[in-house]
Amino acid sequence: MTAKRNQILAELKRLYPQAGPELNFSNPYETLVATILSAQCTDRQVNKVTPELFARYPSVEAMAAADVNEVYPIVKSCGFKSKASNIVEACRLIALRHAGQVPRTMEELTALPGVGQKTANVVLANAFGVPAIAVDTHVFRVSNRLGLAQAKNVEQTEKQLKENVPMKDWIDAHHWLIYHGRRVCHAQNPACEICTLRSYCSYGLGEKPSAQDKPKSKGRPSAESSAERQAKPKWKTSITGQNKTTAAR
């Protein structure tokens, strides 16, 4: 397993050397807000609304003082009004409890409204460089197809990935798996015929256990992917990083 795992990780690294967050943000506050908005929404859509949002509310303090009814129209295309409420309330709590600084621990982050374990892992990794693996629908699907995990739910997948991937690669591996899931290993009709990982992949070689594509109800990834599946990403022969800036990487 170790040799195969290392070969898979090496190939993912070769394929996506510049993989990183596809959300645009430039500090921990923006990372948190963009990540909350990205639940059940595509990164592309979030990136459309955040320039106006961050121009109007450029800090935790500004968002904490905001009227939800004025925030909601800006972020409406990303989903429910509860997202606007969660963002404003989370910033109020950060101002109150953490002197306006986005907290750096899982416990403190998940105490904020709209922040579950996946969102907290994304913030820890992308805002602060803390080793973490956020299991979204792409990470779940691709890692289980490749055998980096053999799990039925998100919690098991995160635990197994942390056991099977060296900690120094956790943050990058999260991005590699997302990139591969969006560009090649689609939920429907994965492009196995052009996938350079096929020789390591029992799913790609025709052994396709049905349990590996969708987790059981416990810890099921967000519906983020359903919108993305509809977008039907195209295969790109050249992958380039298109991120704006990460706060601490």
> Which residues contact ligand SF4 (rule: CB under 6 A)?
145-146, 184-185, 190-192, 195, 197-198, 201, 203-204
136 counts as catalytic: yes
* Distance of closest approach, residue 197 Cβ to ligand SF4, in angstroms: 5
Instruction: Compute the least distance from the CB of residue 146 to ligand SF4, in Å.
Output: 5
Catalytic residue selected from 43, 83, 118, 152: 118
Q: Which is nearer to ligand SF4, 81 or 214 (CB)?
A: 214
Task: Label residue 188 left, alpha or beta by phi (over 0 means left) and psi (-120 to 50 means alpha).
Answer: beta
> How big, in percent rounded to 5, are the helix, strand and coil portions of the chain?
60, 0, 40
CB of 184 to ligand SF4, least distance (A): 5
Nearer to ligand SF4, 145 or 174 (CB): 145
In angstroms, the CA 249 to CA 245 distance is 8
Between 39 and 201, CB nearer to ligand SF4: 201
Q: Is 169 considered catalytic here?
A: no
Which listed residue (43, 83, 136, 172) is catalytic? 136
220: left (phi over 0), alpha (psi -120 to 50) or beta: beta
Q: By C-beta, is 114 or 181 nearer to ligand SF4?
A: 181
Q: Please state, in angstroms and as integers, the Cα–Cα distance from residue 150 to each residue in 187, 195, 211, 215, 247, following that order.
A: 17, 20, 9, 11, 33
Give me the sign of the Cα torsion angle 127, 216, 188, 194: positive
**53 within 8 A of 74, measured Cβ to Cβ:** yes
Q: How far is the CB of 195 from ligand SF4 (least distance, A)?
A: 3
- What is the number of the residue whose Cβ is closest to ligand SF4? 204
Residues contacting residue 213 through CB under 8 Å, at least 6 positions apart: 141, 144, 145, 187
Give catalytic residue positions: 118, 136
